[in-house]
Amino acid sequence: MKSVGVAILGLGVVGGGTYKILRDHREYFQRTQGVDITVESVLEINKEKALALGIEEGKISDNIAEVISNPNVDIVVEVIGGVEPAKSFVLAALHSGKTVVTSNKELFCKYWHELEKAAKRTNAGLYFEASCVSGVPIIRTLIDGMQANVIENLTGIINGTTNYILTRMSREGSGYEEVLKEAQRLGYAEADPAADVEGYDAAYKLSILSSLAFHTKVPLDKVYREGITDIRPQDIAYGQELGYVLKLLAIGKNGQNGIEVRVHPAFIRKEHPLAAVSDSFNAVFLKGDSVGDIMLYGRGAGALPTGSAIVSDVIYAATHNDIKYTTFKNSAQAEAGVKFVNDFRSRYYIRFTAKDKAGALAKVAGVLAKYGISIVDLIQKGEDCEDIPVILITHETNEYAVRRALDKVAALDDVVSVDSVIRVEV
**Per CB under 6 A, does 301 bind ligand HSE?**
yes
CB of 202 to ligand HSE, least distance (A): 8
Dist CA 130 CA 115 (whole Å): 16
Which lies closer to ligand HSE via its Cβ, residue 208 or residue 405?
Answer: 208
Which lies closer to ligand HSE via its Cβ, residue 90 or residue 183?
Answer: 183
Which lies closer to ligand HSE via its Cβ, residue 4 or residue 246?
Answer: 246
Which of 217, 232, 207 has its CA nearest to residue 417?
A: 232
Which lies closer to ligand HSE via its Cβ, residue 131 or residue 420?
Answer: 131
- Using CB under 6 A, pick the residue from 40, 74, 129, 201 that binds ligand HSE: 201
Buried b / exposed e along 27-57 (16+ C-beta atoms within 10 A): eebeeebebebebbbbbbeeeebbeebebee
Dist CA 384 CA 143 (whole Å): 59
- Quote the distance between the C-alpha of residue 127 and its chain's center: 17
x/- site string to ligand HSE, residues 132 to 171, per CB under 6 A?
---------------------------xxx----------
Are the C-beta atoms of 258 and 339 separated by less than 8 Å? yes
Please report which helix (H) or strand (E) contains residue 93, including its range. Answer: helix 86-95
Which lies closer to ligand HSE via its Cβ, residue 268 or residue 301?
Answer: 301
What residues contact residue 386 under an 8 Å CB cut-off, 6+ apart? 355, 356
Residues with catalytic roles = 205
CB of 196 to ligand HSE, least distance (A): 5
CB of 9 to ligand HSE, least distance (A): 17
- Using CB under 6 A, pick the residue from 300, 305, 307, 389 that binds ligand HSE: 300
CB of 11 to ligand HSE, least distance (A): 17
CB of 133 to ligand HSE, least distance (A): 8
Which lies closer to ligand HSE via its Cβ, residue 41 or residue 131?
Answer: 131
CB count within 10 Å of CB 188 equals 21
Q: How many Cα atoms sit within 13 Å of 360 on the Cβ side?
A: 20
Question: Interaction with ligand HSE in 361-400: which residues (CB under 6 A)?
Answer: none
Three-state SS string over 282-300 comes to: EEEEEEECCCEEEEEEEEC
CB of 139 to ligand HSE, least distance (A): 13
Q: How many Cα atoms sit within 13 Å of 172 on the Cβ side?
A: 13
Total binding residues toward ligand HSE, as defined by CB under 6 A? 7
Dist CA 383 CA 128 (whole Å): 55
Positions in the binding site for ligand HSE (CB under 6 A): 159-161, 196, 201, 300-301
